[in-house]
Chains A and B, each alone.
Chain A
Amino acid sequence: QKEVEQDPGPLSVPEGAIVSLNCTYSNSAFQYFMWYRQYSRKGPELLMYTYSSGNKEDGRFTAQVDKSSKYISLFIRDSQPSDSATYLCAMTGNTGGFKTIFGAGTRLFVKA
């Protein structure tokens, strides 16, 4: 079993839709949870991060962490064509020197 599971998609939605992206994980030592956005042929850029459980909102983006279920989510409201990218979840914790594990990434297409 992979430490972090993420559906690679692709996920195609119409403009204005609410998008839900998810990851599950197996290591209960993970404490920090991040979401990165990667445009084609570019390096990833950090979108949001959360510590432990709970929600965090930043504009149209909301990150949720449910440690009891080992499940994290990223919601995008009022999705735009410019949101089309690959979204990678990542997590780290006191596991072998805070090594960060990335999900495979979900490819999102927002159609105008």
Chain B
Amino acid sequence: GAVVSQHPSRVICKSGTSVKIECRSLDFQATTMFWYRQFPKQSLMLMATSNEGSKATYEQGVEKDKFLINHASLTLSTLTVTSAHPEDSSFYICSARLDTYGYTFGSGTRLTVV
């Protein structure tokens, strides 16, 4: 089946540094990937839609300069959290749409900013 590989699974960084999260589609081409953020006991909140070869579309309230998204190929999308702060600590998940109703999700990245 279609698999999205997300790395790292867990990262701890110091406040003010940048962190890059990668999502790769392993056996299919993903022209569009979605980046979500999930706080404890809360639902997935869509941050941005990543389109291969073009600029990402960000949801209202999401800072473009803070959450940099790059989708340079059909199998790789990256999210970089720049100048991270403790309030950026969260669970970040990527996904790719397979068809109208199906998404395949990455395993998620637990970011802790200290």
Contacts and interface: CB of A to CB of B under 8 A. Distances in A.
Interface residues of A, number: 24
Contacts of A102: 43-44
A44 B101 contact: no
A104 B107 contact: no
Contacts of B43: 6, 88, 102-105
A41 B57 CA distance: 26
Interface string A44-56: 1110010100000
B interface, how many residues as a size bin? 20 to 34
B105 interface: yes
A12 interface: no
Contacts of B44: 44, 88, 102
Nearest to A98: B100
A43 B6 CA distance: 10
A34 interface: yes
15 contacts: A32-B100, A33-B101, A36-B105, A41-B9, A41-B108, A43-B4, A43-B6, A44-B105, A46-B102, A51-B101, A92-B101, A98-B100, A102-B43, A104-B41, A105-B41
